[in-house]
Amino acid sequence: MIQNLKDKLELFVHQTTKAGNDECGDSYYYKVTDDYFICVIADGLGSGKYAHEASAAVVAEVEQYHHEDLDSLMARCNKVLYQKRGAAVSVLKVYFKEREFVYSGVGNIRFYLYSPEGKLTYPLPVSGYLSGKPQVFHTQRFSYEPESKFLIYSDGYDIHGARNLLQKYRSTLTIAHEIKQNHINSMDDATFILGSFL
């Protein structure tokens, strides 16, 4: 279902659980305020109960401390995973007034930003995963234009050709349905967050 968040952006979120599992190893969270939008996807290593425990712990940290900057949030997410299974984590924070987004990711969660002019921004994540061990983060800041679209997704989706998928003339709903129908891998938990700035 498409949500309109404070007339700032349209959002579509979808999640599926690996076939045969009761619990999803992916977790996500998003929040919009008058000043910013924040979202996180955490993909616990493996699948099932312990993967869910790891990813849910990350999401709980972001939910509690969403007002903090991304480096602080990523450090909190890493710390909370000590003696848990570990997780790939990506956090996106968008500042509406400045028209900037800040992104940090560790592991195989992908993020794309597509501008109305057709420019595709793809910040590279740090390889590996968060586990409570010392970790280097690579937080990046970019500007964005109105009508830009973004997509952040876990590795349960196999998406090639993101530029064509996110093209300007395509609605958020059309893109979301194509991802659900054509890019899913039933052998893994899968989560995506798709947004369009208004």
Asked if pLDDT for residue 12 goes beyond 90, the answer is: yes
As a whole number, mean pLDDT of residues 79-102 equals 97
Q: What is the CATH number of the domain that holds 91?
A: 3.60.40.10
Confidence of residue 185 (pLDDT cuts 50, 70, 90): confident
Asked if pLDDT for residue 59 goes beyond 80, the answer is: yes
69 half-sphere exposure, CB direction, 13 A CA radius? 6
Asked if pLDDT for residue 186 goes beyond 80, the answer is: no
Q: How many domains does the chain have?
A: 1
Domain containing 92: what range? 3-197
As a whole number, mean pLDDT of residues 124-149 equals 94
pLDDT, tens only, 18-41? 988 889 999 999 999 999 999 999
Confidence of residue 184 (pLDDT cuts 50, 70, 90): confident
- Give this prediction's pTM: 0.95
Contacts of 150 (CB under 8 A, 6+ apart): 92, 101, 111, 112, 113, 114, 194, 195, 196
- Distance in angstroms (rounded) separating the CA atoms of residues 161 and 145: 21
Amino acid at 29: Y
Contacts of 145 (CB under 8 A, 6+ apart): 99, 115, 116, 117, 197
Share of the chain residues as helix, strand and coil, in percent rounded to the nearest 5: 20, 35, 40
SS3 of residue 157 by DSSP: strand
95 half-sphere exposure, CB direction, 13 A CA radius? 13
Asked if pLDDT for residue 2 goes beyond 90, the answer is: no
As a whole number, mean pLDDT of residues 146-164 equals 93
Tokens describing residue 41: 């996807």
pLDDT value at position 169? Answer: 84
